[in-house]
Chains A and B, each alone.
Chain A
Amino acid sequence: MSTLTALARARAAHAGRAVPITAVRHVHLSDEPLVLIPLMQAGEAAAPLAVMAGTDRAAPQLLLVAQPRNRDQRFDFLTRFAEVLVPYIAARRQHTETVEPTKNHDEWERCTDAPQLILPNPAGVEALRLLGRSARFRTVDGPYPVDPRVPLLGRYLTWFADDRAPMPGSGVCLALTSALSQHWATGQSALEDQHLPALLSWIDPPEGMSGAEAALLAEDPDAVPPAGPTTDPAFDTGVLAPLVRAQEEARAAQDMRAVAKAEEELRVALAAQLEPTWQTVWRGIDVLRGLPAAASDKPRWQVDRGRFTDFMTGIEEGLPPQPKRPSAVAAARRLADLESARQSYDRSQAIDDPLVLARYRVGGEAFAGRITFVDAERQEIKGKRAWPRPLVVLHTQDEVILRPGVKLASPARVAQTVRLRAVRRGEAGGYEVELELQSGMGRGKTPEEGSVPLVGEERCYATFLAEQRGTRPELPETDKTPWTHGGPPWPHVARAEDQAEEWH
């Protein structure tokens, strides 16, 4: 953890209220997100108990499974879940915009919007991932036939929770606790921040209460039900188990009126568990919306829209479902995607947000100060040509631990690479840093207007902003996987086995 974040936590603990660690919002918020709060049955891998879902905070839909261990009921639940999710996604597939062709890509149509799921916490996203895994290989025929929307739902959920949620900077599937703790430091630990009601209490405490007090109250599962997907064991013992049993007994006795009554009681009980979290999630979204969106929000969401388009096109073109485990080539591609997304997300946050940049300053990867000297005329003769190489001196109070030769860039002019030539102790404290401008000054012999900083200007320079984005390595085609990685994988034929996969 950076010293800055540690200090922010200490300040929050002292103040009894969370402290912002960003100046702007770095996660995209859709105008119409779909909030999902899943509850799962304890002790089972992927037995859904209920989900509260909706795009309208005033009208949540509650879907539930009366007996999570009953396969038919579970399929029925997934079908109803699909009835919520599929139209939400389809609505975002409708409108597209034309993207001009580039060197590597023909002209194409990109969706003008993309879906956005918001879950209370990362465990909720994991629950979706497991539901997606359990549903995407189901088929409409075979030993356990299902509604055609069930495998589709499985593929959608896999895309959200497995493909996109781990992708840095993607906003199509958000865990609210992660999004909130990315923007605020609380006066408790990161572990305790995973509890949504407690975290939100620190950020947005109720009237007349400190965040610390409110968080303590919010931790009591009797007063505030946990945000799922696991239920409170005391609720399972005291409420859920008797209701499930009553409902089962009624079914066994074929007393349909008693079944209906038991189911209704179950619905009421689960709604009571979910309702507070529903309100908390929407309040969390409000709090996030209170922050202005970062400048990079649009390009990031545009990437999400592009990936959404690709994914939908793949389904429409009849591609098979996402495999259980990727091939060597697919895994390597995926890692490259993840790492480059990480790099560009880190960069864009630092460029947009001075508070994020401040963390790097304290960590010694950046420094900020005032320009005290500029030699804009300076040139370097290389071969037959003279190149502009202006010299700039910056005075900073930051501890400069970088070595001569290191490349830097400033958020004020990211495309301009600067080389650190020397660092001297300033006479009046701090450091004098001598910098040579190397690029981003146009093509002429003299720098373009405005491309050289002026004396008196405040500038920040950081190492990671100058890091080259690595060229993507050339990976072999999957069917040409070399012997080092086991040769070409077996073609995808596992449908029969997947169909027969037992499901209680």
Chain B
Amino acid sequence: MPMSPSVPQATASAPAPAVTAARLDALRGPVPPRSHDARTIAALTVNPGCSRRAVLDAAGVDKRKLAERIGFPARYGQSPFAITRGLAFEKQVKADGCTALLELLRGEPLHFDVPEHEYVDLGVEPTADSGTPVTVDRAGRYERTRRLFARVAAGEPLLADHPLLRLDVGGRTAYVEPDVVALSARPSGASESAPARLYVAEVKSFAVIDGQADPAKVGAAATQAAVYVLALRRLFAELDVDPRIVADDVILVCPKDFANQPSAHILDVRRQIAAVERQLARLPRIGALIADLDPTVDFDLAVDPPEAQGESGREHRSGVELGKSLTMIEARYAPECVTNCEMAFHCRAESRAAGGADALGRSVRDSLGGIQSIEDALAVADGSAGVGSEQHEAARLLRAAARAYDEALRVTPRVAEPEVDV
């Protein structure tokens, strides 16, 4: 009978959500969970096939600390120069109630129809007495954000700085902060009657030179902005307002050419929104994933305080134990992981130690068909091993490659004639 290419269903064997949540807490041990932010939510789209990463993220395990404990510290870090520059640029764009930003929107080449806005900074407490601004708790800030957007939905032109939004990520609340603003505007050419939309603006300090910027950085900014758009839309849905009030386009503000002068660019993030939504929708499947885990697996990174002075604290789990737990969840390693996952160096070492073809990169893996290990590939190529019927073609190609390579070594190449002095 012809089979249908069914989408894997997690629901059949998945345990109840409460069971899952309890198991995830147990996996993490008695330390507070690492909460998601826009960056980590965006990262969900990077390697969604990796079970190891999915479990660690769902349990809120501090991957960075975990990597350190098992002896593979991740080398991430930003240069202080880049941080300083980023902060200075953001400050410049947002100065005087985002004057520079509004000018950009109204001017060349966007020509947005932006009404006068009341600027509201949600990141600082509105103080009656002129004390120093106090940063408030997240729930409170979210509440104020929500109230503010209720007013926006009612038609008030407000420009919100430092809003705090919420997104349900696999049953846990994550807070995300559009590092800037949402403001209402009409794109150029839209009719008077067209509804104004809310735009998320992202300030990034990488330069746009002659209209182009590093595509990887723009891509990352687009995915991050898509998280904000989604969170903002969910907030409006809760307020019973049509979420389409939030535009599919976001505004990327970057320095222009070699100066500090900001420039604004429109980014259509529909594809990124779809990608993030897809990954958020997949998260409940984690239940099925951890239901099959060996009960001994855990990533308890807690360290008890030393009993006496001078002693070191007692680690709940040793590096070896943690490493063993890791190996019990399958990883989907590819060399690109190094750029976006703290566990990458561990997974690389694991893959290399196992002689996995994954360590050589996706395209090599692809050329080897289903042959997973380097030794197997070589044995097949020199004819000392056979393969199953699915790998028959891969084997034929490998043998052909080995023969062509070895034959070519015996052929004399065409070389340049030596220089003759005349």
Contacts and interface: CB of A to CB of B under 8 A. Distances in A.
Asked whether the complex places CB atoms of A and B closer than 8 A, the reply is yes
A359 B402 CA distance: 10
A43 B84 contact: yes
Interface string B250-262: 0000010111110
A358 B408 contact: yes
A398 interface: yes
Contacts of B398: 3, 7
Given A233-B77, A325-B211, A7 B255 contact: no
Interface string A384-406: 00000000000001110000000
A42 B357 contact: no
A355 B368 contact: no
Contact of B403 (A231, A292, A293, A397): A397
A130 B209 contact: yes
A361 B399 CA distance: 12
A391 B402 CA distance: 31
Contact of A241 (B80, B397, B414, B416): B80
B363 interface: yes
A236 B359 contact: no
Interface string B347-379: 000001001010111011011100000110110
Given A7-B401, A9-B364, A399 B409 contact: no
Interface in A251-300: 292-298
B79 A231 contact: yes
A237 B80 contact: yes
B261 A502 contact: yes
Contact of A504 (B259, B364, B402, B414): B259
A160 to B, nearest CB: 18
Interface string B42-84: 0000000000000000000000000000000001011111111
Contact of A221 (B75, B84, B205, B363): B75
Nearest to A238: B80
A433 interface: no
Interface in A448-504: 501-504
A362 B399 CA distance: 9
Interface stretch (A97-105, A170-178, A185-193, A438-446): A185-193
Contacts of A187: 360
A134 B259 CA distance: 10
B405 A293 contact: no
Contacts of A398: 400, 404
Given A43-B79, A237-B79, A368-B407, A399 B396 contact: yes
A285 to B, nearest CB: 17
Contacts of A42: 78-79, 81-82
Nearest to A212: B352
Interface string A223-261: 000000001011011001100000000000000000000
A1 B367 contact: yes
Nearest to A230: B79
B381 interface: yes
B14 interface: no
A241 B80 CA distance: 7
Contact of B416 (A14, A294, A358): A294
A7 B413 contact: no
B260 A501 contact: no
A40 B208 CA distance: 17
A351 B414 contact: yes
B419 to A, nearest CB: 9
A352 B366 CA distance: 29
Interface string A1-27: 111111111110110000000011000
Contacts of A296: 414, 416
A292 B396 CA distance: 33
Contacts of B413: 23-24, 292, 294, 352-355
A133 interface: yes
Contact of A192 (B83, B261, B335, B405): B335
Contacts of B85: 43-44
A266 to B, nearest CB: 14
A191 B259 contact: no
B298 to A, nearest CB: 30
Contact of A4 (B78, B258, B366, B401): B401
Contacts of B125: none
A336 interface: no
A257 B414 CA distance: 61
B207 A45 contact: yes
Interface string A300-318: 0000000000000000000
Given A353-B413, A355-B409, A236 B80 contact: yes
Interface residues of B, number: 61
Given A43-B83, A324-B210, A3 B408 contact: no
A46 interface: yes
A357 interface: yes
Contacts of B259: 501-504
B416 A297 contact: yes
Name, among B77, B368, B397, the residue most crowded by chain A CB atoms within 10 Å (CB to CB): B397
B396 A10 contact: no
A189 B408 contact: no
B338 interface: yes
A41 interface: yes
B415 interface: yes
B97 interface: no
Nearest to B416: A293
A212 B360 CA distance: 12
Contacts of B207: 44-46
Contacts of B360: 6, 9-10, 13, 187-189
Contacts of A188: 335, 359-360
A191 B211 contact: no
Name, among B81, B206, B377, B397, the residue most crowded by chain A CB atoms within 10 Å (CB to CB): B81
Nearest to B360: A9
A199 B211 CA distance: 34
Contacts of B255: 45
A490 B261 CA distance: 25
A189 B80 contact: no
Contacts of A352: 413-415
Given A3-B367, A221-B75, A355 B414 contact: no
A2 B367 CA distance: 7
Contacts of A351: 414
Contacts of A191: 335-336, 338, 361
Interface in B189-226: 205-207, 209-211
A14 B374 contact: yes
Given A7-B378, A294-B415, A501-B259, 16 more contacts: A1-B366, A5-B367, A6-B364, A11-B378, A24-B415, A45-B206, A46-B258, A134-B257, A189-B359, A191-B338, A292-B416, A354-B413, A355-B409, A362-B400, A502-B259, A504-B259
11 contacts: A2-B367, A7-B398, A10-B378, A23-B411, A24-B415, A189-B361, A241-B80, A352-B415, A368-B404, A398-B404, A502-B260
Interface of B: 75, 77-86, 205-207, 209-211, 255, 257-261, 335-336, 338, 352, 355, 357, 359-361, 363-364, 366-368, 374-375, 377-378, 381, 396-398, 400-405, 407-409, 411-417
- In the A-B complex, list the 7 residue pairs whose CB atoms are closest, starting with the nearest: A43-B82, A45-B207, A42-B79, A502-B259, A189-B361, A6-B367, A189-B335
Interface of A: 1-11, 13-14, 23-24, 41-46, 130, 133-134, 187-192, 212, 221, 231, 233-234, 236-237, 240-241, 292-298, 324-325, 351-355, 357-359, 361-362, 368, 397-399, 411, 501-504
